[in-house]
Structure 1
Amino acid sequence: MTEALGILMLEGKMADVPGCMVNEQTWPYPVRRMVVPGAKTPRTAEDAKALLPLYVEAARELEQRGVRVITANCGLMALVQQEVAAAVRTPVVLSSLVAVPAVARMIAPGTRIGVLTFFPDAVGEHNFTSCGWSSADFPVSVAGVGEYESWRRFLATKEADAELHAELREDLRRVIHEFLAREPDIGALVSECTMLPAVLDELRPDLPVPVFDILTVLDWTVSGFGRQRSDGKVTAGV
């Protein structure tokens, strides 16, 4: 069966918990993971840009293997979204930030989009323009979880037992509610960080605005090749 999704992976240990890209329970369709040789976790925009040749080569290999959609497990790779997309014919989604223009048009004109991330100072105009839009096009604000010890521990260890999972969930809940109280004109949230989906599904039912993340954006992209029916079967393609 053709893999619906190809994931370009950084070297090293990644979080193997539901909601994160390594975990098999995260995906309802076939997935192929490919570790990009030499791809270390980027710490700066310059680090991410330096990985471009490696990601282009790996994306082309995934395309040759027949995957339907290509993504990556690090949100900072948004900085090479356009270059990798230009190197292959397969749809490329390296960051949920590519969905901001579509989300902005779903909500009332002028309504703000809240971007959730890990460290807010690492996500700004360069990330936005690399995904094809700017804050002049769509008003955005950014909030992050990086000040919380629970999330810093998860980032460092890539592990989360039941106790830490509960802490991650409640700390993210606190960030979101404080964010919405501070920016009452937010009409939707977009999670840029690929680690936040580990607990986001538990929070969505109680939030007053929709939350889009890398998983929901990829589900939408993959559905272009075959939509899953209520009986669990896929209409075609994946």
Structure 2
Amino acid sequence: MSKKILGILELENRPITLPGALCAPGSFPFPVKRLTVPGATSKSVVDGDEALKDAYIRTAHTLATEGATAITTNCGFSAIYQNDVAAAVSVPVALSSLLLVPFMARTLPPGRKIGILTFDANKLEERHFAAAGWSSKDIDIAVIGIEGSETWRQLSDPIPDASSKLILDDVTKAANTLRRREPTVGAFLFECAGFTLASSTVRRETGLPVCDFVNLGNMIASVGID
């Protein structure tokens, strides 16, 4: 029987491998294969560079050829490449945790919003939601970003030097700020793969569910081809 192997399309920025991070050893109970998408930096992907589409497709093809049974990324802004990459390879593709929003919405009682924590709220747009298969006209959301924070600066750097404490502090601060601002938030969705190490802390501090890239990776790999 063949193994499940999760393929991760990575940015050129050095990935965060701290415990609990998406790309940390041991984050998944199955093998992971990581490949860098040429030209895909935090800036170019967050800015929505359409010219990267072919690079995403080529790298996804390579992952699938080398045995990946499902493919994701380490940047939620990669949502804009979702349809093209999914159409180009024969294994399940989920490029952004934003794909989880419709599922999350169905789990909440009426009147509850999904709080989206993003790398940069100024850059997260309706086109990202549309590429993930939903609209903010149909699903109640509240968005907050960490732009301007030290974590934001570190994750923007080609070689980030962010500590677990720094990420935890900035992400939990954003989550608590959003909850005070939007008291009807009933769950959090972390757009940024760099936030996953803070998920358990935010769940504990807020008492609310949190969905992130590790959840997405487990889900897409579990339905991948055996």
Q: State the TM-score, normalized to the length of structure 1.
A: 0.84
Partner in structure 2 of residue 218 of structure 1: 217
Specify the code of the residue in structure 1 equivalent to 2:222: S
Residue 150 of structure 1 deviates from its aligned partner by 4.2
Distance in 2 separating the partners of 1:196 and 1:21: 9
Kindly report which structure 2 residues correspond to 1:40-55, keeping only aligned pairs within 5 A, or say none: 40-43=41-44, 47-55=48-56
Deviation at residue 42 of structure 1 after TM alignment:
3.8
* 1:58 matches 2:59: yes
| 1:18-47 deviations in Å (ceiling 9; x for gaps) | 233432132221011112234344436664
- Write the mapping of 1:119-158 to structure 2, written as runs, cut at 5 A: 119-156=120-157, 157-158=159-160
Give the stretch that moved more between structures: 147-156 or 82-91.
147-156
Q: Shift of the alpha carbon at 1:149?
A: 2.5
Q: Structure 2 counterpart of 1:88, which letter?
A: V
1:216 Cα deviation after fit = 0.9
Distance 1:45 1:121 in 2: 10
Partner SS, residue 161 of structure 2 = coil
* Contact 1:148–1:171 (CA under 8 A) maintained in structure 2: yes
Give the distance between the partners of 1:150 and 1:88, measured in 2 at CA.
Answer: 34
Runs of 4+ with deviation above 4 angstroms: 44-47
Q: Count matched residues.
A: 224
For 1:205, give the aligned amino acid: R
- In angstroms, what is the RMSD of aligned CA positions? 2.2
The corresponding residue for 2:161 is 159
Mapped partners of 1:185, 1:198: distance in 2 = 25
The equivalent residue for 1:232 is: none
Q: Give, in angstroms, the shift of residue 225 of structure 1.
A: 4.9
Structure 2 counterparts to residues 150-229 of structure 1, below 5 A: 150-156=151-157, 157-160=159-162, 164-225=163-224
Q: What runs of 5+ residues in structure 2 fail to find an aligned partner?
A: none
Provide closer, same or farther for how the CA distance between residues 47 and 122 of structure 1 changes in structure 2, counting only shifts above 3 A. closer
Higher RCO (C-alpha under 8 Å, 6+ residues apart): 2
Tell me the secondary structure at the aligned position of residue 93 of structure 1: coil
Q: Secondary structure at the match of 1:189?
A: strand
Structure number, greater radius of gyration: 1
Aligned partners of 2:7 and 2:33 also within 8 Å: yes
Q: Deviations over 1:32-72 (max 9, x none)?
A: 11122343444366643211011112212222223121011
The one-character-per-residue Cα deviations of 1:90-117 (angstroms, maximum 9, x if unpaired) are 1111100001111100111342111101
Q: Distance in 1 between matches of 2:217 and 2:16?
A: 19
| Kept after mapping to 2: 8 A contact 1:60/1:88 | yes
Please say if residues 16 and 158 of structure 1, whose CA atoms lie closer than 8 Å, have aligned partners that are also in contact: no
Unaligned runs of 5+ in 1: 227-236
Q: Is the 8 A contact 2:10 2:36 kept in 1?
A: yes
3-state SS, counterpart of residue 194 of structure 2? coil
Name the SS for the 1:19 alignment partner. Answer: coil
